[in-house]
Chains A and B, each alone.
Chain A
């Protein structure tokens, strides 16, 4: 089904929070003020790596208007944070490990005074040698960034006998891929409001993707009972994984408790860049071999991830990358090893796609290279290697049966964009055979002249000889939930409120994804009620139960399951009340608009039921995200599948790549909220376009060169194609009761490798590093100065760079 307004029909609804967002009435948490509040600000390290010899705060504390100055000495509890493994100092004691490390924080009556106070804090540093790459971190003589050394996490998955299998391969492709330090670049930078109560309690209004996790971490830092802290965590002006970890919360909380006044913090963009998380830059070496029929035999992967100065979710990200490096393919012999390595480069952590984006770029690159080396159609090559309905997951674990891979494959094959890739790399089989043993390393790409094999009618249709077109496609298999071995609780509550509303409460957040609209639609589906009957409470630890995190493409799935668990209990209890009040037997009653109905008549209003008391009408459920029964660390059980096809145009004089059109096919079970689903894929598409073509938080010697949105470029409305189509495949196998899978991440994964494949077809250049460098694609104008220029062989000047 092509997903759009027309196909969605009545399910295309205006978001419940929409009106407030288009009128500016919606208060983001960084818009809040409080009477008597003061302004908080954080002093961060100017050095990527240094020893702290002394911190002197007296002058700052004496400045008029300053109400609190804190350092590590003022942290009452554990001076560390980190969701998985708390190793990041809230306030550094004796050493800083990246340019965002916090050393002190100030609260003052005005932002000006707070800023002035920061300048008055004297910190004596002694610079230490900087580790600016994972390779440097692994060198034997490298200084140790943490007591356990420089390796945060190591993964290893092996099945079969890879080395033996390589000896039987007809074609082997070996290549190393590199991906950039992508920044979330949410439009609302980190911030919030921290309000101490007279009872010693603390209210935290600050964005996060897991309010209860923030509460737990803050309780540990503040040495306070969790129940004394209330975390209100949404609405949020974008997160994409970047606000899941604590950011400014510890400082706001400490300052508020220290001075006993409400504290507001709102970081500048530069503070956000220097202290905020990024996507792990990865170097991924893959060696992949096939037999003469094109069947994958062996796949060896080595992943080196720059996890930066502290752990946060570096280990699970690497775990996810390790699993997803195998993808939706049948490969008998697999050997994947990964290292997440500490450096002095910022902090890498959670980011939409969670390590999948990097390895799928590499894996799909391998698939395209192998197909070309075999002289096969790139999509057909994927088909003969694609997983089937009952195949195990990438790590050999049992997974929920799914034919998603074949469904999306078929949808892309039939797409009009894929048809435009008519200049297929045929006739190269003979050529390939010549160096079939080692189609790799440098000469790894078969020397294809673009105008020979790479230019079909699509490319020829354009007049300027230096403008080329190409089409490429990629497959994605993306796990939902946190994976085996990580607690992944879910839950929610439903009840009739005192006002007579069907009230649901989830400890999830609305960060733009459209959870409110999804919930409204699900509740209407289940109870046939009016939107006006519904009340939704989200992201508030005082008012909503534990629901786990709003991450990992799990939220829609989990609230759907929770509501399906709760529905029979709630409906029955409400109908029983209505039965008592009306004298009509329960079996004749059902929930409907405004109240309980019997046949065509509403017999009791919800409000009337509520007036008689709502006790016994609240239901809560707690359960766990479905996991594989096989104890394989990180292995997932539910997956979303996606295929992406794109057409690009490359200007060989400027190196500019323009994405002309994209089609996504997504198999994620039933579409709950069409506008939200579509928006997730479209938004992911935009992010992936940036990842492929322009985004990189460049560091030099572990210092950011890109400091704001003038140097860190994200796509504008001019950079995205007008034609993006999304096809939603809703089919699930019979007896599949897991409902909708998540679509929050999958749209951000496949476009980069699809663009790389399209650029290959357009120009003959293989891309193995993102963002695609224009320099790699540019050709001297002399290349085109001859008559019949399109027939001139184009030297692949960029290849040694790539």
Chain B
């Protein structure tokens, strides 16, 4: 059974709807052009998570209050639970999966170094919201970084580790790679759900 547990990627996800409205959504996701036949009102959140299998974008409140679903739409932060398919037409969408290569970006490194997450469910949204701040302003202040996260809830950390990460990012201290270097090969927990 361990081998059959796969992430199901329905690239052409079609949704049963009482009144099907034919609509082909063409947009770019993490730099790749994607065309899908979807209901024009289908939520971007569902398109990402269910149709494209990009589950890094999380779902929590579905009313725009928690920020777990934060992505970049046309470079600006957006709650994917509030965006409909037609609003994405022709636009670039970036998700946590496309935010950095294997090397991790400065935000991700700061989160790892400072203990800015526990369960990690809020983390992709937090990182995307901060990514949006950095796109607006390459050297944001602590205040601007905090403002950028006011729409993102975290229940685990009490925000203390996040504040430490923001502090590091605002000062743009030379990145210590001390702890990062120790990532090593230790990634074997929960092997069969993590393939």
Contacts and interface: CB of A to CB of B under 8 A. Distances in A.
A16 B189 CA distance: 8
B16 A238 contact: no
B23 interface: no
Contact of B155 (A16, A187, A676): A187
Interface stretch (A209-217, A228-236, A557-565, A579-587): A228-236
Interface stretch (A150-158, A407-415, A717-725): A717-725
Contacts of B123: 21-22
Residue of B55, B146, B190 contacting most chain A CB atoms (<10 Å): B190
Contacts of A1: none
Those 6 A-B pairs whose CB atoms lie nearest each other, nearest first: A24-B56, A686-B158, A512-B119, A21-B120, A237-B121, A512-B118
Interface in B36-87: 49, 53-63, 65-66, 68
Given A18-B183, A24-B124, A716-B150, 10 more contacts: A13-B182, A27-B7, A32-B5, A188-B121, A679-B156, A708-B61, A708-B63, A709-B66, A715-B159, A720-B159
A286 interface: no
Contacts of A113: 16
A526 B190 CA distance: 23
A682 B15 contact: no
A5 interface: yes
Interface stretch (A33-41, A50-58, A607-615, A783-791): A33-41
B34 to A, nearest CB: 17
Contact of A188 (B7, B54, B119, B149): B119
A22 B122 CA distance: 10
Contact of B158 (A65, A237, A682): A682
Interface of B: 1, 4-8, 15-17, 49, 53-63, 65-66, 68, 95-97, 99-100, 104, 108, 111-115, 117-124, 127, 146, 149-150, 152-164, 179-180, 182-190, 192-194
Interface stretch (A288-296, A417-425, A532-540): A532-540
A797 interface: no
B4 A26 contact: no
Given A20-B194, A21-B117, A512-B119, A720 B146 contact: no
Contacts of A232: 190, 192-193
B4 to A, nearest CB: 7
Q: Taking each of A234, A235, A538, which has the highest tally of chain B beta carbons within 10 Å of its own beta carbon? A: A235
Contacts of B60: 187-189, 269, 709
A743 interface: no
A759 to B, nearest CB: 20
Contact of B182 (A14, A236, A268): A14
Contacts of A501: 188
Contacts of A366: none
Given A205-B193, A710-B63, A722 B158 contact: no
Q: Is the interface of A mostly helix, strand, loop or mixed?
A: loop
B193 A29 contact: yes
Contacts of A187: 58, 60, 66, 68, 119, 121-122, 153-156
Interface in A84-114: 109-110, 112-113
Contact of A513 (B55, B118, B155, B162): B118
A482 interface: no
A720 B158 contact: yes
Contacts of B115: 15, 675-676, 678-679
A684 interface: yes
Contacts of B5: 32, 34, 195
A203 interface: yes
Contact of A683 (B7, B100, B156, B180): B156
B53 A539 contact: no
Give the residue among A26, A240, A708 with the most B Cβ atoms within 10 A.
A26
A169 B8 CA distance: 71
Interface of A: 5, 12-29, 31-35, 37, 65, 109-110, 112-113, 184-189, 195, 197, 203, 205, 232, 234-238, 240, 266, 268-269, 501, 510-514, 516, 520, 530-532, 534-540, 675-676, 678-679, 682-687, 689, 708-710, 714-718, 720, 722, 724
A532 B185 contact: yes
A716 B111 CA distance: 17
A685 B158 contact: yes
Contact of A717 (B121, B146, B156, B184): B146
A760 B114 CA distance: 35
Nearest to A9: B178
A18 B120 CA distance: 8
Contacts of B154: 187, 717
Interface centre among B4, B53, B112, B186 (most CB of A within 10 A): B186
Contacts of A20: 187, 194
A510 B162 CA distance: 20
21 contacts: A5-B114, A13-B179, A15-B112, A18-B111, A20-B194, A27-B55, A34-B8, A35-B4, A112-B15, A186-B155, A189-B60, A237-B121, A240-B155, A512-B117, A512-B118, A539-B190, A679-B156, A683-B157, A709-B66, A710-B63, A715-B159
Contacts of A687: 155, 158
B97 to A, nearest CB: 5
A195 B2 CA distance: 11
Contacts of A234: 190
Given A31-B55, A513-B118, A14 B158 contact: no
A158 B135 CA distance: 64
Nearest to A37: B8
Contacts of A715: 158-159
B70 to A, nearest CB: 11
Contact of A237 (B63, B120, B183, B185): B120
Nearest to A535: B188
